[in-house]
Amino acid sequence: MMIFLIILFICLSIFLAYTLIMALDRISALELTLINIYNIIRIAGIQLDLVDANGAFESDDDVGFIFEEIKHIQNELNNLFETEESDGEKAR
């Protein structure tokens, strides 16, 4: 009976170790995907700021209205991700 329990424990340990490694791999892949999405949003924000720096779009016409809405959406996307500061506090 004792040998059965030892074998069962070893098999269960191997199974749990395997599932843990697979879960960590999946989490790592998802983290890389989120980092890529964050970088795309950040670059889009920088490009939007460069376009807006010229002041070519006025808010009194349709193009200006659409541009303001795009800026609003960009601000919402920028606030989607939180970054950690060096002292451990989270900031947006």
**Inside any domain, residue 17:** no
* Residue 55 Ramachandran class (φ > 0 left, ψ -120 to 50 alpha, else beta): left
| 57 within 8 A of 20, measured Cβ to Cβ | no
- Indicate the residue type of 6: I
Count of domains observed in the chain: 1
pLDDT above 70: residue 19:
yes
Lowest-confidence region among 9-13, 31-35, 52-56, 77-81:
52-56
Q: What is the pLDDT confidence band of residue 87, given thresholds at 50, 70 and 90?
A: low
The answer to whether residue 28 sits within a structural domain is: no
Is the predicted pLDDT of residue 90 greater than 70, yes or no? Answer: no
Q: Do the domain assignments include residue 9?
A: no
Determine, yes or no, domain membership for 40: yes
Please report whether residue 54 resides in a domain: yes
Per the structure, the complete domain to which residue 63 belongs is given by: 33-80
Range in 16-25, 35-44, 55-64, 70-79 the model is least confident about = 55-64
Task: Name the residue with higher pLDDT: 70 or 29.
Answer: 29
Q: Is position 1 within any domain?
A: no
